[in-house]
Structure 1
């Protein structure tokens, strides 16, 4: 079966459980959805609904208690070698320059230094940092560090991008610039993307489809919304379209109750 005819990522009846004082906490249960090859899917839901847990399962960093993750039709065993993971937290090595950070995965794989440097400079140019290859992370702004992290992830040419709240720490202007950078790179390469976010506006602006998770425990998908807004997109301009507001209202109608349920649950345990 070719990769063109099967989903890039498929969650089949996924349940994830964690030991807690006094018992076991079921983070997710009965999770079934997939991401097509080249499809950009965002997952939204209340805090603590297991979004990052699912991302870690797709990366092979977490083995589900039940069910299985399929990668292009094959059960995932161990780390997902076909995926690149862009974390929410800083993932750059502070002792390495921008170019060294970007090319680190290539050098670990034995790519000759001159070839790694050439490819690294190409990716720094794609994210607008070709003038800063020798800068260290502490010498770069937050937005510039995110650009380095994006180049670091993309240079390995993964088939799947896993992104966990990747731009949440940025100011709104830098965040929109980074979102547009991501869309430009995605439009060029058409990777499968699983994007985790708390920001419904961001999810709609970026995605082909938005999956809504229920409040935990035992969180599971309760809605899947196709986003048919035209591409290519500018994330600032797309928010002004009436169709954007229509999508937002439809998804928020489902999401709002789960956010309130999660809030009440949290307040009950404070």
Structure 2
């Protein structure tokens, strides 16, 4: 028998009450998405199309209006305890040091203090912050804060990692360093990853599969591409490979029209 998907969104529809007029707004319509154990899947689409909504559905932070979420074959009810969520905005507590921030999830899970401290220190070392555990968020660079946030998620050893444009605010050099660090850590344990990004280059360089969403409202998958670039990968070097260029052209051919639609909708709202 085929192993169940790590995360399975089946026929998901998400409808909200509109802010004006009292009507309904369908953000996501009849969307099915499956991530296998150990698979790295990126989702790309126009701004405001509902990418983060799907991530919140997978995390159990938002209940779908229709459809079903399964985690390793079991229906999801409430928060997805087998998932770790790395947000676009840093979730570090400003009054806690880097070490204490990484420890907090372990403490909530009831891990003894000494053991939680040891595990948190080990994860800080793995993300290159071994000597910065006593630093507070305001004392760290953007890249360092992202490393601490990544350690905070991975210290819980989740079976599924949800990432919502985690590196979008970083400069290109720091961003590529973080992308490579994520790939190295992912390769070591092969967790299932659902990665949301606006950056098509990033999606192709990191993923096993890229899913393209339509412009909203009622976003849904309109394309799916297997990324057959060899691993391990360096995200900067892989961009120069002919196959990367070919894949980029294929995916952009599907994505471009949706980006233009999304841009037109944004202009209409602003008018």
- Structure 1 runs (4+) deviating above 6 angstroms are none
> How far has the Cα of 1:112 moved from its partner?
1.2
Structure 1: give runs of 5+ residues left out of the alignment: none
Instruction: Report the more deviating stretch, 203-212 or 106-115.
Output: 106-115
Q: Partner residue of 1:244? A: 244
- CA–CA distance in structure 1, aligned partners of residues 104 and 58 of structure 2: 23
- CA–CA distance in structure 1, aligned partners of residues 49 and 203 of structure 2: 16
Q: Partner residue of 1:114? A: 114
**Residues 1:19 and 2:10 are matched in the alignment:** no
Q: Secondary structure at the match of 2:161?
A: strand
- CA–CA distance in structure 2, aligned partners of residues 251 and 238 of structure 1: 16
Q: TM-score, normalised to structure 1's length?
A: 0.98
- CA–CA distance in structure 2, aligned partners of residues 33 and 135 of structure 1: 39
Q: Secondary structure at the match of 2:237?
A: helix
Please list, as runs of the form range in 1=range in 2, the aligned pairs for 1:142-161 lying within 5 A after superposition.
142-161=142-161
- CA–CA distance in structure 2, aligned partners of residues 253 and 162 of structure 1: 27
1:10 to 8, 11, 32: 8
> How far has the Cα of 1:265 moved from its partner?
2.2
> How many pairs were matched up?
268
Q: Partner residue of 1:125? A: 125
> How far has the Cα of 1:216 moved from its partner?
0.5
| Deviation string, structure 1 residues 218-267 (Cα, Å, up to 9, x no partner) | 10000110001010010000101011000000000000011111122222
Please list, as runs of the form range in 1=range in 2, the aligned pairs for 1:205-244 lying within 5 A after superposition.
205-244=205-244
- CA–CA distance in structure 2, aligned partners of residues 117 and 264 of structure 1: 50
Q: Partner residue of 2:29? A: 29
> How far has the Cα of 1:48 moved from its partner?
1.1
**Residues 1:174 and 2:174 are matched in the alignment:** yes
> How far has the Cα of 1:87 moved from its partner?
0.2
- CA–CA distance in structure 2, aligned partners of residues 106 and 264 of structure 1: 45
Q: Partner residue of 2:48? A: 48
Instruction: Report the more deviating stretch, 50-59 or 104-113.
Output: 104-113
| Deviation string, structure 1 residues 141-162 (Cα, Å, up to 9, x no partner) | 0000000000000000000000
Structure 2: give runs of 5+ residues left out of the alignment: none
- CA–CA distance in structure 1, aligned partners of residues 267 and 142 of structure 2: 33
> How far has the Cα of 1:122 moved from its partner?
0.6
> How far has the Cα of 1:187 moved from its partner?
0.2
- CA–CA distance in structure 2, aligned partners of residues 178 and 70 of structure 1: 30
Q: Secondary structure at the match of 2:236?
A: helix
Q: Secondary structure at the match of 1:239?
A: helix
- CA–CA distance in structure 2, aligned partners of residues 243 and 91 of structure 1: 37
> How far has the Cα of 1:71 moved from its partner?
0.8
